[in-house]
Structures are given as structure tokens and as C-alpha cells.
A and B are shown apart, each in its own frame.
Chain A
Amino acid sequence: MLILECPYCGVAAEETELAAGGEAHLTRFGPGSSDDDFETYMFMRENPKGVNFERWRHANGCGKWFHAARCTMTLEVFGTYSAQTYEPPADLIKAIKKKRPDWPGYGAHK
């Protein structure tokens, strides 16, 4: 069972308490942007095997959105962090890199 710690209320919430919100840190494009950019924002996804950054909501708890770094192959959770950021915190990236030396790094495929 997946357990994520909500960075706002500090509760170690299990899956049924949470709502998954998909890929994190998407660059948003709106009216006036190119078709390519809009398609990328709306539909193209990283969907990696391994380290994944995603959005979650503590739906049946404090109700707030936050971010999580998780491995899609093992379900290992590397950490959670606030929603008020454009990219994962540097210390989290460093910690993941240490655990997964083969990981190409955040945004390597973007």
C-alpha cells in the first residue's frame, strides 16, 4: 500500500486518503500558444520506468495539493514536497541521485 506524507499537515496518508493528480511540473500553455506546445501540455507524458514526479491531493485530509517523487518500478517513495514550486527541491534530487546512480536526472527527457 502506498503511503505518502502530506507536507502540509504532516499526516502519513495511505492511498485511499489521497487522489492522484498526474505528472508534475508540466509547463502550461494556453490560448495563443502553438499547436505543438498545446498538445505537449495536454497529452504528451513522460511516463518513465523509474523515478517519477507527480501531483497528489490530500483529498480525504487537509485537501491540499502537493508533489511526490516516487519510483514506478518499485513503488519506493523518495519524498514529498510543497506544491508552490516549479521544480523538485535540490536536496531531494541529490538524495534520489545517490539512491539511483543510473537515473538520468530531473527533466532529462523534456
Chain B
Amino acid sequence: MRRYSAFAIAREAARYHQGWERAWAAPEPKKKYDVIIVGAGGHGLATAFYLGKNFGITNVAIIEKGWLGGGNTGRNTTIIRSNYLQDPSAAIYEKARSLYETMSQDLNYNVMFSPRGVMMLAQTESEIRGYQRTAHANAYQGVSTEFISPQRVKELCPIMNIDGPRYPVLGALWQPRGGTARHDAVAWGYARACSDMGMDIIQKCEVTGVRSEGGKVVGVDTSKGAIDCNKLAVVVAGHSSDLAQMAGFRLPMESVALQALVSEPIKPCMDVVVMANTVHGYMSQSDKGEMVIGGGTDAFNNYTQRGSFHHIEETVRALVETFPMVSRLKMLRQWGGIVDVTGDRSPIITKTPVQNMFINAGWGTGGFKAIPGSGWAMAELVAKGEPGPLSAEFGMNRFIEGRFIDESVAAGVAH
């Protein structure tokens, strides 16, 4: 793999840009792999990357039914933060956030990580108490956050109206090292690194069956034929229940549509990410100048990657009081993704009833921020067959043991 650098740009400029290589190969599947990963979203690709990097396992195929990064990884609003409440969540999200800090260098691929700061507005008395509690928990967890005053909110984000009649801004939970990154670049950067390690990324290949013998996984059926494996890692977000059904078990999970939308590009007006959980909307400005807006999920199970129309209106309406300028913006595009929501709003990174088959799912509305940490933890689970410290609490057995990792407050709005 030829490295990207300022020198490479100069070199290619001098020869009409004819020397750029393909970023990743497009191989046909082999008969057998040590590990098959289903799903080339961020989490699947990061799992592959850390299998190679941390465990030297490179006889790996990543099988994707569409195109890599075409699922939720390429559809999210790219908010990265780690100000969760429970210790296991803070640990894995903060691990992920810290890996984002050096991801561009680690992958030699510019993922445009922009730690511009994330604030979650407190607009009710109970939100003040909730976020103060989170700020205290974060202090113990070594996650740098603070609870800030309405005046400080206004300083950080002058376009905001903090004394709205219905939901005035009473303060905010502020994480200065949270921010955004370029979602496609995260998938592409990992894909390039995995391909360079000799892994096969097989796109336009749908897994249609899971084959097992004596309770142990032996391979998958795909639209390109059967492929054998020693270990199977299923990382397919909203499609996890489907894959579980192929293997003969159920998951504590439901799939719903989550939407986002962007406005026409405008001049820079907001250099932080703002989330308003009470009214259910959040916003940031992309480098292109578009206002990136998201809100809540649909309430019913759905696989159509579209989302209900009235949610767009609800989301934008929610933001208008706090951001009056929104009422003057034209919206350009809207899209949806199918997110995988568990009973306690926390992911599962787990062994399954089928031996050597592992599942990483349930990141729901907020798993972009977790990609590197989740890949790190999943690679450890797959390589060793047992969960490591980051994923130990996220097993599926927590639902039977009543040991929930309740993030319904921290996950709040869908982001």
C-alpha cells in the first residue's frame, strides 16, 4: 500500500494523478477463512482491523450485502462523545473516543476527527439533576466533562436562544473533547488498512444462512455460494435478528428506522455540537456548511431505511425555539437507517448459543462514536473466545440476570 502524504499529493500532481492505487481490493471469496465477519460497516471493519493488528489474525473475510459503509455507518450524524452514565459504557465509549484522536495517523487516512465539543442541553429541572449526576460519574470514570451555566452555553454557541418561553436553557453537560468525524472515511480508512493486511472484503454478497455442525459454526451460505470458517462474527446492526434467526436463536432487540436531514450549506455559524434531549433534536454544522439535524426514531419495527415523514417536522419544530434561525433554512436531503435497539439501550458484544459464533450489535442510535472501541473489544472476544475487560459487562446474559446497563437517559435523544 502506498502511503498518503503531502509528498504523495505533490508527486501525483506532477504526473496527472495517474499513480493513485485502488484503496482496497475486490477479491472473489476463498473456500475457507479463519474468521468470517458479516457486515462491512464501521464495527465489522474495525473488528477485522484489530483482529489483524492486535492478534495477528489476517485470514479474514468481511462479507457485505451492499457496499462497505453503506449501512448506518454512512447514514449517521457522526456525533462522537463518551459522557455516558454507567461505568461499562463510559469505559468502552471513552476507549473509542480516545482512539478517534489518533485514527487518521493510525490508518494513514484522514477521518477528519474534529473534537469541537459536544453539549447536551438541560432544559428541565430533572435534566439539570441528571446531567450533574453524569458529570460526577464521568469525573470518577476519568471522562472529562463539566456542567456549564446558561451564560457559558450562550458564549459557546451564540446562535442559540437560551431564554425560550417553553424550554429555556438551564445549563448543559459539556464534553470539550467530543465532536464529529467523517463517517465514510472511517469505513474507507479501515477497509484500506484491512485490505492491506491481506483480508478479503467481499461486497455485494449477502449472507443467507448460517451453517453449524454439532452446535458449532462451520460456515455461511451466501449469494456467492457457501464459505467455510472456524469463527463467525456477526456485526450487522439492524439486521442482527435476521442473522440470529438463521442460526436458530432470538435476540433481545428490535429494528426501527432513524432519520437525519441536512439543510442547504450556509456560512459557518456554529462550531460545537448541540443536543437537546427534552425536545428531541440535535444539530451540528458540517465542514461543507450544511446544518446536520437528527431526532427520534420511529416507534414501530421497520426495515425500509426511510422513516416516517412526520418525524422530520417534529424534529425541526423541536429545534426552532432554541435555534430560531432554523425556521429560515431550506432542507436539502433526508435519509434513514435501520437501528438495532435493545431493552436497556446498551449494545451486546457476546458469545451466542452457537459455538464460535459471536455477535456485536445493539448500538442502536449511537454506535458511530463507538466504532474503534467496539472493534477493539470484539476482536478480543473473537480471537480469545472469551470477552475481555471492555466487553465483559455487555454479554447477552445480562438480560436473564437482570444486570442491565441502563443508558436510556444518557442515550436520550437518538444520535
Contact = CB atoms under 8 A, between A and B. Distances in A.
B364 to A, nearest CB: 13
Contact of B400 (A1, A39, A48, A49): A39
Interface string A22-42: 110000000000011001101
A72 B301 contact: yes
B17 interface: no
Nearest to A45: B254
Interface in A42-98: 42-49, 52, 54, 70, 72-75
Given A36-B400, A52-B301, A75-B302, A45 B250 contact: yes
Contacts of A36: 400
Contacts of B253: 45, 47
A44 B253 CA distance: 7
B343 interface: yes
A54 to B, nearest CB: 7
B252 A45 contact: yes
A1 B309 contact: yes
Given A54-B301, A72-B303, A109-B250, A42 B308 contact: no
B304 A48 contact: no
Contact of B399 (A15, A19, A22, A43): A43
B300 interface: yes
Q: Which of A23, A39, A74 has the most CB atoms of chain B within a 10 A radius of its CB? A: A39
Contacts, number: 65
Interface in B275-328: 298-304, 308-310
B256 to A, nearest CB: 9
B245 A109 contact: yes
A47 B241 contact: yes
Contact of A1 (B304, B308, B342, B399): B308
B252 A44 contact: yes
A45 B399 CA distance: 13
A47 B299 contact: no
Interface string B349-364: 0000000000000000
Given A36-B400, A43-B399, A49 B250 contact: no
A23 B241 CA distance: 14
Nearest to B249: A44
B302 A72 contact: yes
- Interface residue tally of chain A, by bracket? 20 to 34
A20 to B, nearest CB: 4
A73 B301 CA distance: 9
A75 B304 contact: yes
B304 A43 contact: no
B251 interface: yes
Given A15-B310, A20-B299, A36-B400, A47 B255 contact: yes
A70 B301 CA distance: 10
A93 B211 CA distance: 30
B254 A47 contact: yes
Interface string B211-252: 000000000000000000000000000010110010000111
A20 B48 CA distance: 38
Interface string B389-415: 000000000011000000000000000
B399 A42 contact: yes
Contact of A47 (B301, B308, B309): B301
Q: Which of A1, A15, A45, A54 has the most CB atoms of chain B within a 10 A radius of its CB? A: A45
Q: Which of B254, B304, B400 has the most CB atoms of chain A within a 10 A radius of its CB? A: B400
Contacts of B245: 48, 109
Q: Which of A36, A43, A49 has the most CB atoms of chain B within a 10 A radius of its CB? A: A43
Nearest to A40: B250
A74 B306 CA distance: 10
B252 A43 contact: yes
Nearest to B298: A20
A11 interface: no
Contacts of B303: 49, 72-73
20 contacts: A1-B308, A2-B300, A20-B299, A20-B300, A22-B254, A39-B399, A44-B251, A45-B250, A45-B251, A46-B241, A47-B250, A47-B253, A47-B255, A48-B245, A52-B301, A70-B300, A73-B303, A73-B304, A109-B245, A109-B250
Given A20-B298, A44-B250, A44-B252, 8 more contacts: A19-B299, A35-B400, A39-B252, A43-B342, A46-B241, A47-B250, A54-B300, A72-B255
